Amino acid sequence: MSYEDNNKPKMSFGGERENGRDHIPVSDVTGKQNRKGGGWRILFSILFLLSVLGNIFLFLILMVLAAMVLSGPSGMLREKVLIEGPSTQKIVVINLEGVIVNQSAEDIREQIKAAREDRYVKGLILRIHSPGGTISGSDEIYHQILRYRKETGKPVLAFMKGIAASGGYYTSVACDKIIAEPTTITGSIGVIMNYFVLEELLEMKLGIEPIVVKSGKRKDWPSYFRKPDEEQLQYFDEKLIQPAYERFVSIVNDGRSDLTMDEVRRLADGSIYGAQEALNNKMIDEIGYFEDAVDTILSMARLKDAQVAEYKRPFSMMSLLGSHGKTGFKLDKKTLYEFMLPEALYICDYTGN
């Protein structure tokens, strides 16, 4: 081996040796740096994403906690002041709106209970905007108002808005006085029952023949599968319509002392009445607006001034998320049964407002 061979720079792994040093290619260094920088970027991105998700989660927890603090115990009613006044003298407005069902009666019961337990409440205004509804729901509300009046000795005033007919009027006669807005529709004293007869649809259109097995001839009355005959119609009238109608007439006669039984029966043919006609027939006591109702209840309670408030259910995260409400129409067996179930009602078919 020659001197030149011994002193010739030798190749090292990954590069050449220059001047006694290993030379690493620039491309290798850059590649390693890029790989190292890319790893850190991925790590930082993951940490940032986790931080964002954590903040969102904490925000939702704070929202739930705030809602729980603001709403108080589940189901608790809160007061909303409508007219400012001394808080030691209150008039509470209880709203009856929409078609009356059993849940409506439960809501009214809870509000009346809250008013009964508040020693500063001096009287109630039952603000009605309803065409009526179920017989049991209407009667329960009527009962709760009478009970409140009897147990507390405090006045209750009915204030009619828009429409307060049939079951809506039924509940109003439990009050000491009735005031109606000038455009109110009331009356419709009576009972109605509707149901479907599917006989022609099933047999003639679809070729379906229903089979009914029953223990007696009246067990399936009323039937969806055939039209009622005169005997059946008479049976419905005697068992359902007339008892409910007689109770309605009796309730009005008891609640409207200026009316005789004959006058009530004359009015109780299902007719609707405007405010002025109702006043002329002694079905109501005054025509006026909400401010007039407030002045009247203050006079009845022998007060010069009072705070006027109503009860509201507080904000609830559960209600916001829909856990207590229906997210859509659900056609199950129970819903279908309730939809088709024949029922006598204290309701007015008039839908004007």
Neighbour-count burial for 296-330, b at 16+ CB within 10 Å, e otherwise? bbbebbebeebbbbbbeebebeeeeeeeeeeeeee
**Tokens representing residue 301 in the block:** 């309670």
- How many alpha carbons lie under 13 Å from residue 307 in its C-beta half-sphere? 14
Beta bridge partners of 125: 93, 157
- C-alpha distance from residue 170 to each of 116, 133, 134, 140, 182 (Å): 22, 10, 11, 11, 19
Rg (CA), the chain: 37
Indicate the Cα dihedral angle 68, 72, 73, 76, nearest 10°.
-130
Name the one residue in this structure whose structure tokens are 């309605």: 248
Separation between Cα atoms, residue 52 and residue 95, nearest integer Å: 45
Name the one residue in this structure whose structure tokens are 């009605």: 128
Name the one residue in this structure whose structure tokens are 């849940």: 103
Question: Three-class SS of residue 284?
Answer: coil
Angle between helices 242-255 and 135-152 (to 10 degrees): 30
Q: 135 with 344: CB under 8 angstroms? A: yes
Active site residues: 166, 219
- Residue 26: CB atoms within 10 A of its CB come to 8
Name the one residue in this structure whose structure tokens are 């609640």: 255
